[in-house]
């Protein structure tokens, strides 16, 4: 599998008090552990993104635990109220404990 690549879409600017939409997607195979290797017949180990957390200036604004039924390349969309300029940090964690991060700055006028 190619390395997992997170993508995030955040407005560059917003007015104070606006509710903004944030879209995220990470390229990840999301192996459920239910399939068997065609050559060996052995189960393919589960390896999914199992947690997603978004923080704004160090404070959690959104989090979700992901289950195996989610498709490959999970897409997550949520809203938040823009109150001040700051950094959004997005973190995805998979079953191996590996984490993937992306960072975007939001400017509030």
- 37 class by beta-carbon count within 10 Å (0-12 exposed, 13-18 middle, 19+ buried): exposed
CA distances from 107 to 21, 56, 57, 88 (A): 14, 12, 12, 11
φ/ψ of 41, rounded to 5, equals 80, 0
- Point out the residues of the chain with pLDDT beneath 70: 1-3
- Write down the pTM of the prediction: 0.89
Please give the pLDDT value at position 3. Answer: 66
**Class for domain 6-108, per CATH?**
mainly beta
């Amino acid at each position: 599998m190619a390395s997992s690549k997170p993508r995030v879409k955040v407005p560059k600017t917003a007015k104070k008090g606006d509710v903004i939409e944030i879209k995220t997607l990470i390229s990840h195979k999301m192996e459920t552990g239910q399939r068997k290797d065609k050559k060996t017949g052995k189960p393919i180990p589960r390896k999914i993104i199992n947690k997603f957390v978004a923080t704004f200036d160090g404070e959690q604004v959104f989090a979700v635990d992901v289950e195996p039924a989610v498709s490959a390349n999970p897409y997550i969309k949520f809203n938040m109220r823009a109150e001040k300029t700051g950094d959004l940090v997005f973190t995805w964690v998979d079953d191996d404990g590996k984490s993937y991060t992306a960072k975007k700055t939001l400017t509030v006028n």
